[in-house]
Amino acid sequence: MDITNDIKYVGVNDREIDLFEGMYTVPNGMAYNSYVILDEKIAVMDTVDRHFGSEWLANVKSVLGEKQPDYLVVQHMEPDHSANIKNFTECYKSAKIVASAKAFVMMKQFFGDDFADRQVVVGEGDTLSLGKHVLNFVTAPMVHWPEVIMTYDSTEKVLFSADAFGKFGALDCDEDWACEARRYYFGIVGKYGAQVQALLKKASALDIQKILPLHGPMLLEDLGYYLNLYNTWSSYGVESEGVCIMYTSVYGHTKAAAEMLAEKLEKAGCPKVAITDLARDDMAEAVEDAFRYGKMVLATTTYNGDVFPFMRDFIERLTERNYQNRFIGIIENGSWAPNAAKVIKKLFENSKNITFANTVVTIKSALNAESQAQTDELLKELL
């Protein structure tokens, strides 16, 4: 695939994977992107997952022919991108490896070799001339590992963005970018909003016309759309108006309360109501919705004096990702000692700018006239 006359795509699609990073379901697979820049000197940008080494090297060979690459630029040491560094060095024995100092430490950890005689260590503001192409290196620590660098080709005005602006899904699947990019971002990068904001500030000083990430499609137009979404996500802003309702239920009574509230919200004209069964639905999509909308309702049973385990798991996934700037309503259920609201509020005590609804809906076993009236009061606070 030609990105430009000089930049070629040599990545692979993974249709065999079931869980990305051992956690995230990827029904449409994953793409591991790699690129070649052809110039007086030739640079290969990153490698791919270990299962696709032969396919990737064949792709590189198909672009290079008998030419020898001068550099392998390693932007990120996560194994889905770095696993074939050693294989590359064995195939192309004269090529130098360009990476951050921390990346070479990780190479020693992964391969038992930091390739000391082939190192080109780069950091913020360093450049590498390939001829007419000049590579400008931008450090991006904790987006989302500490060794990450990104590469700006000032000739083509292309940003090689490492894992930033990536998404789940192989390149040969036809799906909306934002949904899987959002799930990817909040699942993997979401904790590091401040670091992404710092990166966006650096990016704003560059004339970027194309973004080439390590996962997902190449972003070749309408870059403002992608940059604005990343700004909203990384500043923990509200992307969409609406309410998400997250519930756990043992015998169906808490579910009934959640569904009743959802129906009332829809009838009252709420722009969007997203409802999720945390025990059955994809947890990563639930996290995505929690960050997408500005208002959330947590409906759960008291369980062993705590909250139901799936609810605790969900809340901890939010708080470890710096969940903030949100309005939360609570529906609690307990047949003899409802305690969920107290536990939920404590779980968010270190989160920034969380506002709880004044009304807590308390169900004792099943909905009755009193708890239904409380639901109506909560409804008013959500609208």
Sign of CA dihedral 237, 243, 244, 250: positive
User: Could you give phi then psi for residue 114, rounded to 5 degrees?
Assistant: -105, 10
**246: closest CA among 314, 298, 312?**
298
Question: Are residues 131 and 158 both part of a single domain?
Answer: yes
User: 258 with 245: CB under 8 angstroms?
Assistant: yes
Q: C-alpha distances in angstroms, 134 versus 43, 120, 152?
A: 11, 15, 8
Query: Which of 207, 234, 261 delimits the end of a domain?
Result: 234
Question: Are residues 104 and 216 both part of a single domain?
Answer: yes
User: 210 with 151: CB under 8 angstroms?
Assistant: no
Whole-prediction pTM value? 0.93
Does residue 281 lie within any of the structural domains? yes
Question: Are residues 256 and 324 both part of a single domain?
Answer: yes
Task: Count how many domains the chain has.
Answer: 2
Report the C-alpha gap between 67 and 74 in whole angstroms: 20
In tens, the pLDDT along 244-297 reads 999 999 999 999 999 999 999 999 999 999 999 999 999 999 999 999 999 999
In tens, the pLDDT along 292-327 reads 999 999 999 999 999 999 999 999 999 999 999 999
Does residue 256 lie within any of the structural domains? yes
A 10 A CB-CB count for 82 gives 26
Q: C-alpha distances in angstroms, 369 versus 153, 341, 375?
A: 65, 20, 10
Question: Are residues 276 and 215 both part of a single domain?
Answer: no
pLDDT score of 118 more than 90: yes
Report the C-alpha gap between 132 and 39 in whole angstroms: 7
Report the C-alpha gap between 325 and 22 in whole angstroms: 30
Question: Are residues 42 and 142 both part of a single domain?
Answer: yes
Question: Are residues 281 and 176 both part of a single domain?
Answer: no
User: 163 with 148: CB under 8 angstroms?
Assistant: yes
- Which residues pair with residue 366 across a beta bridge? 364
Q: What's the average model confidence in pLDDT over 31-44?
A: 98
179 Cβ neighbours under 8 A, 6+ residues apart: 288
Report the C-alpha gap between 371 and 377 in whole angstroms: 10
Does residue 116 lie within any of the structural domains? yes
CATH of the domain at 375: 3.40.50.360
**Can you give 258-277 as a three-state secondary structure string?**
HHHHHHHHHHCCCCCEEEEE
Does residue 1 lie within any of the structural domains? no
Does residue 274 lie within any of the structural domains? yes
Does residue 2 lie within any of the structural domains? no
Which residue range is the domain that position 104 belongs to? 7-234
Percentage of residues in the chain having pLDDT higher than 70: 100
The total number of residues written for the chain in this structure: 383
Question: Are residues 171 and 32 both part of a single domain?
Answer: yes
